[in-house]
C-alpha cells in the first residue's frame, strides 16, 4: 500500500486513540446519568421528594428526546453535519444541562426567586425536583445525541476492522463510569454533607470530556480531508425520506423493540437498585451502592471479549437470546427470593448474572445495525433505535415509581419499601425481549442479514 493511500483510520495507534477520546466522554456521561441514583433515599428524606417525584425526575432525561423528537432530529443532524461537529454540540448540551441540575440540588438554590416561583405551581412536585428535571432533560438530549454520534464515529473508524471489539471497549469504559459513580457518589455526599457535591464533581469531569471531543474534532477533520469527498466510501446523500424506510423495515423494528425492552429493564433498574438493596438487606446507602457497583464490572470485562468473539466467530442473534434469559433470572431472584434466604451473597450473584447479560446483549445489538441499513442513513438508524429505546426509558422509571408508591401506601420510611412488584415488571420485559430475539434469529435465517456471521472481512 502506498503512503498516499494510507488513511489515519488504517493506522492502529491513531484508530485506538480516537476510540479512547470518544469513550472518555461517555465514561463521564454515564457517571452523570446515575450520579443521584445511589442517593434516592437521601433525596426523599433531605429534599422532600416522594417515590413519584423521584420516578418523574429519573424519566425526565428522556422527555425531550421522545416528545420533542429530539433524537430523530439528532440523527438527521448527525448525517448532515458529520460526527465531529455533532460531538461538540452534544458535549455542550450535556454541560449546560448538568450545570442546571447541579444548581437545582445545591444549597445555593434554596430561597431564590426561582425556587419560590417553581413552588407556586404543581405543589406536589418540589421546586428542586422541577429544576433538576429540566436540567436532566437538556443533559438527556446531549447524552443521547452523543451516544449515536459515538456509535457512528466508531463505525466510521473501524468498519471492516475490529468494529464489535471497538464498540465493546467503548461500552466497557462507559460502564466503568457506572461502577465509579455508585462507589464515589454516596461517599462524596457523606463527606460534604450534601447531595449536590457529587453532582458538581461529575460536572467538572464532563468539562474534561468536552475537551476530549474537541481533540477528536481535529483527528476526524484530518481523516475527512484524506478521504476527500468520501472517495473511498461513495454513498448517496442522506434524504429525510430515508427515515420512512426504517419504520417500514420489519427486521429493523424487531431490533428496536428488543432494544427498548432490554434497556428498559436495565437503566430504570439502576435508578432504584441501591434503594432496593437498602430495603431488602437492611444495609446503609453506601454499602448498597457498593454491592450494585459490581454490576457493570462483569459487563465491562466481558463486552470487549464478546465483541472480539463476534468479530471473528459471529453468533450475534444467539447471544441476544442468552442475554435475555439471564436478565429474566436476575430480576426474578430479586423479586421472589424469600426475605429469610435473601443474603448479600444472593444479591451479588444476581448482580453478576445481570452484568453478564449486559455484556451479551449490547455487544451483539449495536454492531448488528450496520448490517440492516445502508451507510447513508446509519446515523438516523441509530437515532431511531435510541428514540424508541428512550420511550421505554422515560416511561418505566415513572411506572416503577408509581408501582412503588401504590404497593407501599402505608410505608413512610424509604428504607422499608417492598420491591416485589417493580422487580416482576422488570422480569416481564425480559420475557418479551427473549421472544423478540427468537423472532430476530428466524428473520436473519430467512433473509441472510448476516447477524450470525463474523464482522471482520477477510
Cell numbers standing for residue 9: 483510520
**Residue 455: inside a domain:** no
pLDDT at 211: 95
**Residue 409: inside a domain:** yes
Total structural domains in the chain? 1
**Residue 458: inside a domain:** no
**Residue 9: inside a domain:** no
**Residue 70: inside a domain:** yes
Q: Determine how many CB atoms are found less than 10 A away from the CB of residue 221.
A: 13
**What's the burial of 390, exposed, middle or buried (CB within 10 Å: 0-12/13-18/19+)?**
buried
**Residue 2: inside a domain:** no
pLDDT at 239: 59
Per-residue exposure over 102-120, b if at least 16 CB sit within 10 Å of its own CB, e if not = bbbbbeebeeeeebeebee
pLDDT at 376: 67
> Residues 411, 275: contact at Cβ < 8 Å?
no
Tens of pLDDT, residue by residue, the chain (458 residues): 444 567 777 777 888 988 999 999 999 999 999 999 889 888 888 888 888 899 999 999 989 988 888 877 887 788 778 888 899 999 999 999 999 999 999 999 988 999 999 988 888 889 999 999 999 999 999 998 898 889 888 888 787 777 778 887 888 788 889 889 999 999 999 999 999 999 999 999 999 999 999 998 888 888 777 776 444 444 445 556 667 777 888 888 888 898 899 989 988 998 899 999 999 999 988 999 999 988 877 767 776 677 677 777 767 778 888 888 999 999 999 999 999 999 999 999 999 899 888 877 776 776 777 777 776 666 677 778 878 888 998 899 999 999 999 999 888 888 899 999 999 999 999 999 999 989 988 887 887 776 766 766 55
CATH number at residue 440: 1.20.1250.20
pLDDT at 5: 63
**Residue 233: inside a domain:** no
Q: What domain range includes position 179?
A: 14-228+240-447
**Residue 278: inside a domain:** yes
pLDDT at 2: 44
Per-residue exposure over 135-165, b if at least 16 CB sit within 10 Å of its own CB, e if not = bbbbbbbbbbbbbbbbbbbbbbbbeebbbbb
Amino acid at each position: 500500500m502506498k503512503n498516499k493511500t494510507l488513511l489515519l483510520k488504517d493506522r492502529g495507534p491513531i484508530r485506538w486513540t480516537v476510540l479512547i477520546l470518544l469513550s472518555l466522554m461517555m465514561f463521564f456521561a454515564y457517571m452523570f446519568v446515575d450520579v443521584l441514583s445511589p442517593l434516592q433515599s437521601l433525596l426523599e428524606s433531605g429534599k422532600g421528594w416522594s417515590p413519584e417525584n423521584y420516578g418523574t425526575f429519573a424519566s425526565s432525561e428522556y422527555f425531550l428526546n421522545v416528545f420533542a423528537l429530539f433524537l430523530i432530529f439528532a440523527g438527521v443532524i448527525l448525517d448532515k453535519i458529520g460526527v465531529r461537529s455533532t460531538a461538540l454540540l452534544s458535549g455542550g448540551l450535556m454541560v449546560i444541562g448538568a450545570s442546571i441540575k447541579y444548581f437545582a440540588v445545591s444549597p445555593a438554590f434554596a430561597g431564590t426567586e426561582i425556587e419560590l416561583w417553581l413552588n407556586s405551581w404543581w405543589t406536589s412536585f418540589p421546586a428542586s425536583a422541577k429544576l433538576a428535571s429540566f436540567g436532566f432533560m437538556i443533559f438527556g438530549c446531549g447524552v443521547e445525541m452523543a451516544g449515536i454520534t459515538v456509535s457512528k464515529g466508531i463505525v466510521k473508524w473501524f468498519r471492516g476492522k475490529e468494529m464489535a471489539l471497538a464498540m465493546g471497549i467503548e461500552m466497557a469504559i462507559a460502564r466503568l463510569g457506572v461502577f465509579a459513580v455508585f462507589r464515589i457518589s454516596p461517599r462524596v455526599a457523606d463527606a460534604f454533607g450534601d447531595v449536590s457535591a457529587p453532582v458538581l464533581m461529575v460536572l467538572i469531569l464532563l468539562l474534561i470530556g468536552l475537551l476530549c471531543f474537541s481533540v477528536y474534532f481535529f483527528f476526524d477533520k484530518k481523516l475527512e480531508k484524506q478521504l476527500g469527498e468520501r472517495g473511498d466510501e461513495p454513498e448517496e446523500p442522506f434524504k429525510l425520506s430515508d427515515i420512512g424506510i426504517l419504520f417500514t423495515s420489519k427486521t429493523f423494528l424487531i431490533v428496536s423493540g428488543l432494544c427498548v425492552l432490554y434497556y428498559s429493564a436495565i437503566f430504570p433498574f439502576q435508578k432504584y437498585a441501591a434503594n432496593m438493596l437498602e430495603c431488602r438487606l437492611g444495609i446503609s446507602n453506601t454499602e448498597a451502592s457498593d454491592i450494585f457497583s459490581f454490576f457493570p464490572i462483569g459487563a465491562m470485562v466481558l463486552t470487549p471479549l464478546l465483541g472480539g468473539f463476534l468479530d471473528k466467530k459471529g453468533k450475534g442473534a444467539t447471544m441476544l437470546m442468552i442475554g435475555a434469559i439471564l436478565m429474566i433470572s436476575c430480576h426474578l431472584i430479586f423479586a421472589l427470593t424469600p426475605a429469610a434466604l435473601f443474603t448479600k451473597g444472593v444479591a451479588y450473584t444476581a448482580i453478576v448474572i445481570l452484568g453478564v447479560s449486559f455484556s451479551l446483549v449490547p455487544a451483539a445489538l449495536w454492531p448488528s445495525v450496520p448490517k440492516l441499513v445502508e451507510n447513508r442513513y446509519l446515523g438516523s438508524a441509530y437515532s431511531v433505535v435510541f428514540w424508541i429505546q428512550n420511550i421505554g426509558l422515560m416511561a418505566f422509571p415513572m411506572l416503577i415509581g408509581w408501582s412503588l408508591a401504590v404497593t407501599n401506601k402505608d410505608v413512610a420510611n424509604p428504607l422499608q419499601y417492598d420491591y416485589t412488584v417493580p422487580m416482576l415488571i422488570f422480569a416481564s420485559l425480559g420475557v418479551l425481549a427473549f421472544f423478540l430475539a427468537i423472532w430476530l434469529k428466524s428473520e436473519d435465517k430467512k433473509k441472510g442479514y448476516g447477524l450470525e456471521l463474523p464482522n471482520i472481512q477477510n
